[in-house]
Amino acid sequence: MTQADIPAGEAGVLHPEPVRISRTIPALRETVFKAWSNAEHVKHWFAPEHFTVPQATVDMRVGGAFEVCMRAPDGTDHWTRGSFAEVSPVDRLVLDLRVDGDDGRVLFTAWTEVTFADALGGTRLDIVQTYTLYEPAMLPAIGGAPEGWSQTLDKLVAEVARMDGRTGEVPAERSVVHAIFSLERTYDAPVALVWRALSDMEAKSKWFGGDPSQWEALERTMDFRVGGTERAKGRWQGGMTSTFDAHYLDIIPNERIVYSYVMHLDARKISVSLATMELKMAGDGRTTLKVTEQGAFLDGYEDNGSREHGTGFLLDQLGKSLKS
């Protein structure tokens, strides 16, 4: 059933304000998108706290089915049924969903738009759910949708972590996977201004951190000198903490910074890296910044390119901070 199948002008039909919810998930878009793509993943997360999903059908194609049975703690089953109206990997999904009564009558529909975008710390998920309500008694249920979605997205964060092998459990066998990348950005700003954005904690805090609506800063220190240290620790919406601990090894003002750093997700050490930043005048008052990083990813943690992606996003944020 689509929105067009039910006359919107029927007496008693209500159109509550759409529900909007956003979450930044510490994973690549490909992984977050994949968590919506089949029933086995959806069964792990598509329900609020204390609910389970014993049955699900997911056929990710336009017109394909999306059906989920949410089982309440008292054993009552609540079905959401519908189909995919739009599938654009790995950017956007649109689901045309409905909830039926015991007599088969439609209680309400929920046109659900989901967008996936690169963001500091991973993937920003934006959900807009637009309701058409045919049974006024269901209005309180829709009123509780923001909290229900928040709890559901907490489960999605956990499922994505499981998919990425980031559950906090260290595998029986130790391992190290090495990776290297280089990124370059040219900024419309003089070298001294770019240097300040890298070396001054107040200036660096404008770009080196999470979205305040998604990430709560817990610790922030910076002692910018050879032998000095830096720490940035924060808690993501959903409960996971990330900790960046750096040690400065070489500093040549306005030219070069070399540092090592360790990353933790919660209590688990996931990587040890060596990073070099090189600054050069690019003419017309511009500055080119080149970042080269060599990483050792530890004990089963699969980076899958997320460190390079995250670093690129931070460099873009740095560029924006130079204009403010």
| pLDDT tens figures, 130-173 | 999 999 888 888 888 999 999 999 999 889 888 876 655 555 57
Distance CA 322, CA 3 (A): 46
**pLDDT on residue 162:** 82
Query: Nearest-5° angle of CA 141, CA 146, CA 147?
Result: 85
Q: Is the pTM of this model over 0.75?
A: no
Tell me the per-residue pLDDT of 250-297, one tens digit each, with 9 for 90 and over.
999 999 999 999 999 888 888 999 999 999 999 899 999 999 999 999
Distance CA 52, CA 214 (A): 26
Tell me the per-residue pLDDT of 60-102, one tens digit each, with 9 for 90 and over.
999 999 999 999 999 999 999 999 999 999 999 999 999 998 8
CATH of 176-321, one of 3.30.530.20, 3.20.20.150, 3.40.50.150, 3.40.50.2300: 3.30.530.20
**pLDDT on residue 201:** 96
Task: Give the residue from 277, 213, 217 showing the smallest Cα distance to 243.
Answer: 217
pLDDT at 183 over 50: yes
Residue 207: φ, ψ to 5°: -130, -20
- What's the Cα-to-Cα distance from 281 to each of 74, 99, 254, 285, rounded to whole Å? 67, 61, 10, 7
**pLDDT on residue 186:** 97
Q: So where are the chain's domains?
A: 3-163, 176-321
CATH 3.30.465.10 fits 3-163, yes or no: no
**98-112, 147-161, 184-198, 232-246: the lowest-pLDDT one:** 232-246
Task: Give the residue from 46, 51, 50, 52 showing the smallest Cα distance to 155.
Answer: 46
